[in-house]
Structure 1
Amino acid sequence: MIHSPISPAIFYWGTPVVLVTTTNEDGTANIGPMSSAWWLGDRCVLGLEGNSQTTINLLRTKQCVLNLPDETMVSNINALARTTATVEIPDVKIKLGYRYDGNKFKTSRLTQQKSAKVIPPRIQECPVQMEAEVSGVHELMKDGPSAIKGFLLAVEVKVLQTYVDEKLRLEGHVNRIDSDKWRPVIMSFQNLYGLKAGQLAESTLADIDEENYRLPV
């Protein structure tokens, strides 16, 4: 194995696509596709641009739904690519070819589903939905140049309620997912990938009862 140094513009080694629903100022629903997301306990950290409508809505309302699409929803995801609900499109997004879209549910051919604990709707077609509220906002790259001050944020949200398609449940367990049935969409260096069917190998960590990871409430 021979290693050589590179300087990549992005570091998307592979993370799940999330369709984040939020509420616009006029009460309509917005869908923000993103993939800089990771979970720990009942918290999720979302890496977002400070000028995106999703971020603007999150900071104003403190609410969202994290909808996880599966491999059957690639066309819906692509329909949302390079769209923004921000009326005055930032120069950086104009350069990237973004266009204004005030009705992303129509554009993506997706269906609103009423949430129970937050105002933003769930996406009915997504097999996993997590209603959440903002619990913290952290500015990234504070040590960077002034031109990018406030450009990137890590928004921490607390998951309030999780819904899953019944077909994803692990038989014999109330709160577990059958990993062999869950097929998320993975973003890797701007391209969409699925998971190869079946496990690569059995994990030693899988011997630990999943409930042991549940944090105190």
Structure 2
Amino acid sequence: METSTTTFTRSEHVAISPKILYFGTPVVLLSTLNADGSANLAPMSSAWALGQSIVLGIGAPGQTALNLRERPEVVINIPSPELWPQVERLAPLTGRHPVPESKRGTFRYEPDKFGAAELRPEPSQLVSPPRVAECPLQFEARAEKLHEGGGGAFVIVEATVLRVHADPRLVVPGTDHVDPAAWSPLIYNFRHYFGLGPELGHTFRSETPRVTL
């Protein structure tokens, strides 16, 4: 019997020292409450989920970290790819006044983040900070634990999700499942914005497999 073998050629890797390690992670917008009751809104791309918990990595000098230490409620708003210009409008802004020394010269103070990004706040149901109306997915959450990381440069936040809001166009009818074929997150890939490409397949544990005829 004749057999066929396939030979894979592996390129030789090179050692590099990139300044950042955002190898392709979803962007989220964190809304928190300032001491005066106004809302702060901050983009970030260091988040991962496990069950009903989401771990966030945020800069220690920013207003978000300050707010969460004092008022541990947050909404994790997840934008779709077409919202990248609004996300980028937020990128050079800080809600901290005066601007922290580590941010001076790069960031500027802006008290009205929603207005600056041309996004609309809408009331949450279980927490005080508002949701971002334009984001198709919104997670109301409570920050349970805050840990210092990176020698004090950032804060690791363990948050418990209390309620999930979804654009009905993303939900499989009659279920609580988000349809992966209908939903695409905004991806931050080495400081560039991307959406998802075509579906390649699904894991054996998927509850929303696509039926092919």
TM-score, normalising length: structure 2:
0.89
Q: Which structure 1 residue ranges, 5 or more long, are not aligned?
A: 142-148, 211-217
| Match in the other structure for 1:165 | 167
CA RMSD of aligned residues (A): 1.3
Task: Give the counterpart letter for 2:170 in structure 1.
Answer: L
Hey, what does 2:182 align to over in structure 1?
181
Q: Deviations over 1:136-159 (max 9, x none)?
A: 112223xxxxxxx32211101000
For 2:74 and 2:128, the matched residues in 1 are separated by: 8
2:138 counterpart of 1:129: yes
Q: Give 2:53's aligned residue.
A: 43
Q: Where does residue 29 of structure 1 map in the other structure?
A: 39
- 1:202 is the counterpart of 2:196: no
Specify which of 47, 55, 65 is matched with residue 55 of structure 1: 65
What amino acid maps onto 1:162 in structure 2?
V
What is the correspondence of 1:34-113 to structure 2 with a 5 Å cutoff? 34-95=44-105, 97-113=106-122
Identity %, equivalent residues:
38
Larger radius of gyration: 2
Amino acid at match of 1:114: P
The structural deviation recorded for 1:204 is: 3.0
Which has the larger share of helix? 1
- Cα displacement string for residues 141-180 of structure 1 (whole angstroms, at most 9, x for unaligned residues): 3xxxxxxx322111010000000000000234x2101001
In structure 2, runs of 5+ residues without a counterpart are 1-10, 209-213
The number of residues matched between the two structures is 198
- List structure 1 segments (4+ residues) > 3 angstroms apart after TM superposition: none
Q: 2:28 aligns with which of 11, 18, 39?
A: 18
CA deviation map 1:9-37 (0-9, x unaligned): 11101111100000111110010110100
Q: Deviations over 1:16-61 (max 9, x none)?
A: 1100000111110010110100000000000011111011101110
Give the secondary-structure state (helix, strand or coil) at the position aligned to 1:203: coil
The residue that corresponds to 2:8 in the other structure is: none
Write the distance in 1 (CA, Å) between the matches of 2:166 and 2:130.
Answer: 15
